[in-house]
Amino acid sequence: MLLRVAAKFLIAATLLGVGLTRVECLNFNFTEFNDSAGDQLILNDSNSRLFYDAIQVTPDSSGAPEAMIQKSGRTLYEKPFRLWNRKGFNSSFNTTFVLNIKYQTHPGGEGLAFILTGSSNVNINASGQWLGVVEPQKNDSSQAQTVAIEFDTRKSYEEDLDDNHVGLDVNTVYSRVQVPLTNLGVNLSSNSDIRVHVRYDGELKNLTVFLEMADKKIPVFSEISDLPAYLPKKVYVGFSGSTSNYTQLNCVKSWAFNSTDKEDDNPFWIWIVVPVLGVALLVGIAFFVYRKRKIDREKLEDACPSIEEVIKVSSTAPRKFKFEELRKATGNFSPKNKLGKGGFGTVYKGVMGNKLVAVKKVSKKSTQGKTEFIAEVTTIGKLHQRNLVKLIGWCYERRQFLLVYEYLPNGSLDKFIFCDEKSSMEESTMSWETRLSVVTGAAQALDYLHNGCEETILHRDIKSSNIMLDSEFNAKLGDFGLARTIKLSDQTHHSTKELSGTPGYMAPESILTGRFTIETDVYAFGILILEVACGRKPGSQNQQDNYSCNIVNWVWDLHREGRTLDAADSRLEGDFATGDMECVLILGLACCHPNPHKRPSMKIVLQVLKGEAEAPPVPNERPAFMWPPLPPSFKELDISLGQLSPFSELGGR
């Protein structure tokens, strides 16, 4: 006991000492914002996200137009940096970023800003003129702790200069400096890349903003601004933006940041005290670790008894593995054994005895790791169906979650059906029979989740990269990371705060409401069938912009023109029964009906795929998306009750 207290004291004392000698510096360079960049950013505000290798500071166009208006978003780098300290140190920084702004309405609105802020909270209500910089109730208050360089694309109040200017904002959006850009020949919202450099000299307090044009840095303004007077010692850096009834895409495509790491002038005693404390600490830690190891051996593995309890409920429960076993099996999680990166972790190939397994290492960064882990283990542990990826075991040690699945040698379906991926050039095109059997298998699995278990289970992330293939090309539905069980009796919808799911597969209503239902799973399944039949990616869901990129619109247009079969994957070279192909395409459209009430249940989908029923009829013209959806008419309700439509059982509104 005494030892622990002593160790804690030593740690504290040494950290203090080290804190006096070292100043944190922040240094990073994102040349693009691919998925891996997300680990280093705080963007758990559902309004900001990474898409198309850029930060979409405000909602992008993959949702309904209504989801874009009156929103604000923020994205911050995960770590703060030391702007100043009590001993008179003032940090300098340089940052360079590339903006791209595109109108969605004419005119567009409102703009975005580079911000330095005291808080890591990205969920703030600062839409419209407030640019995500300050909430209206904190306007001009020192509580806001935010300094911004705004790129304003709309004149939204009287003092606002125009719809194309740069400004310096301190705790408000009523700028101290406003510089118009039109006479520099720059149009912020022209959908072109604009490279900005910001330089701040901590000693001279000189804040200068440059725009790069023809490889030259043109200063836009230079201002003496004592940032430490407005900001706390540690500040987060990032971007904010907002929309009003006027909307636009506010993208940041790359971003580099560099701040000084300046040695402080320390009093001489530090040089004696710190090493002494350091040595003492090492001894302390060694002892502490030795003691703790002993305790841990008994305790740590049971650190989360609730998980074990949860799992032991089922007698056919997956096995518990030791971390050491899994480390060995995967060659110390060697990159060579990496199979892929899933929703919330990385999957490695492993060898156990003479058996191959897939080990998923749940990312420590995923904040909901524990809940997701419990959800996944409980959900999968209870499920047994031929077309579901089998969970063999799990491990929770060293605060690390791992899941062990059966290994599926043929990988995921997507690499067999898309032509634009390098790997598939060598793969021969998957035959129509195989495609049909794969989607039927997947339908079997989803029907089992929806209708075959005690509780209805939503998958929430149906997509071709989640359909795995065994050596005989049998489909196995994987990745239940997002699955949550819903009870039939007490809840109609399961709602989530943050939007999960994969763009392109999300039903229009789930983008709008953030909810997942049986019908949104069916929608995603419809996209899957269309992908497999057409051999093309689902594309954007933007209604106006990339209209023809959206697979549903594209197939529906062909259907209207009576050319449904033209949607079939050309690589099949017509080698299919036209009746089957047409039936599958129509079924895909029926599943993607904009009105969730009109989508078939998985039971019916399965019957159609097995040839036991006709594809449900779909109108020639794609119906418009309406929210809330029209309820089914009485006549339809009769039919659907007869067909056990899950929606009516669940009592949709």
Ligand X SMILES: *[C@@H]1O[C@H](CO)[C@@H](O)[C@H](O)[C@H]1NC(C)=O
Annotated binding-site members: 361
Q: Please state the closest distance from residue 305 (CB atom) to ligand X, in A.
A: 25
Nearer to ligand X, 61 or 429 (CB): 61
Nearer to ligand X, 199 or 390 (CB): 199
User: Hey, what are 148's tokens?
Assistant: 């911004």
Name beta bridge partners: 40.
none
Q: Which residues contact 277 (CB under 8 A, 6 or more apart)?
A: 10, 13, 14, 17
Q: Please state the closest distance from residue 123 (CB atom) to ligand X, in A.
A: 5
Task: Lay out the site mask for ligand X across 291-320 (x = CB under 6 A, - = otherwise).
Answer: ------------------------------
Nearer to ligand X, 219 or 275 (CB): 219
Residue 633 in contact with ligand X, rule: CB under 6 A: no
3-state secondary structure 625-650: CCCCCCCCCHHHHHHHHHCCCHHHHH
Query: Which residue type is seen at 645?
Result: S
Interface with ligand X (CB under 6 A), residue from 40, 143, 222, 423: 222
Map the footprint of ligand X across residues 17-56, applying CB under 6 A: 27, 29-32, 34, 36-37, 42, 44
| Piece of 251-259, 331-339, 515-523, 528-536 that binds ligand X (CB under 6 A) | 251-259
Residue 263 in contact with ligand X, rule: CB under 6 A: no
Q: How many CB atoms lie within 10 A of CB 567?
A: 24
Q: Rounded to an integer, what is the distance from CA 607 to the centroid of its chain?
A: 34
Cα–Cα distance for residue pair 569/533, rounded to 1 Å: 6
| Piece of 3-11, 221-229, 428-436, 632-640 that binds ligand X (CB under 6 A) | 221-229
Residue 97 in contact with ligand X, rule: CB under 6 A: no
Q: What is the CA radius of gyration of the chain?
A: 28
Catalytic residues: 461
CB-CB contact of 640 with 648 (8 Å): yes
Task: Lay out the site mask for ligand X across 335-374 (x = CB under 6 A, - = otherwise).
Answer: --------------------------------x-------
Strands 54-56 and 27-30, bridge-based pairing? unpaired
Taking Cα atoms as reference points, which of 469, 310, 341, 322 lies closest to residue 404?
322
Strands 111-117 and 146-152, bridge-based pairing? antiparallel
Phi, psi of 320 (to 5 degrees): -95, 130
The residue count for binding ligand X (CB under 6 A) is 47
Q: How many CB atoms lie within 10 A of CB 25?
A: 14
Q: What is the total residue count of the chain?
A: 653
| Piece of 199-207, 266-274, 511-519, 639-647 that binds ligand X (CB under 6 A) | 199-207
| Piece of 2-10, 219-227, 317-325, 616-624 that binds ligand X (CB under 6 A) | 219-227
CB-CB contact of 114 with 149 (8 Å): yes
Residue 423 in contact with ligand X, rule: CB under 6 A: no
- Binding-site members for ATP are 361
User: Hey, what are 184's tokens?
Assistant: 């520099």
Helix (H) or strand (E) holding 70: none
Task: Lay out the site mask for ligand X across 127-166 (x = CB under 6 A, - = otherwise).
Answer: ------------xx----------------------xx--
Q: Please state the closest distance from residue 89 (CB atom) to ligand X, in A.
A: 6
CA distances from 379 to 148, 318, 390, 465, 635 (A): 46, 11, 11, 20, 37
Nearer to ligand X, 59 or 588 (CB): 59
Nearer to ligand X, 123 or 578 (CB): 123
Interface with ligand X (CB under 6 A), residue from 256, 285, 351, 356: 256
Interface with ligand X (CB under 6 A), residue from 21, 40, 123, 371: 123
Cα–Cα distance for residue pair 29/236, rounded to 1 Å: 16
Q: Please state the closest distance from residue 639 (CB atom) to ligand X, in A.
A: 37
CB-CB contact of 167 with 192 (8 Å): no
Cα–Cα distance for residue pair 47/515, rounded to 1 Å: 15
Q: Please state the closest distance from residue 581 (CB atom) to ligand X, in A.
A: 35
Query: Which residue type is seen at 44?
Result: N
Residue 245 in contact with ligand X, rule: CB under 6 A: yes
Interface with ligand X (CB under 6 A), residue from 24, 39, 66, 203: 203
Residue 94 in contact with ligand X, rule: CB under 6 A: yes
Nearer to ligand X, 200 or 448 (CB): 200
Query: Which residue type is seen at 445?
Result: A
Q: Please state the closest distance from residue 177 (CB atom) to ligand X, in A.
A: 12
Map the footprint of ligand X across residues 175-194, applying CB under 6 A: 182, 187, 189-190
Phi, psi of 629 (to 5 degrees): -70, 155
Residue 103 in contact with ligand X, rule: CB under 6 A: yes
Name beta bridge partners: 113.
150, 240
Q: Please state the closest distance from residue 90 (CB atom) to ligand X, in A.
A: 4
Residue 259 in contact with ligand X, rule: CB under 6 A: yes
Taking Cα atoms as reference points, which of 77, 87, 85, 88 lies closest to residue 27?
77
Contacts to ligand X by CB under 6 A:
27, 29-32, 34, 36-37, 42, 44, 84, 88, 90, 92-94, 96, 103, 123, 125, 139-140, 163-164, 172, 174, 182, 187, 189-190, 199, 203, 206, 208, 219, 222, 224, 226, 228-229, 244-245, 256, 258-260, 367
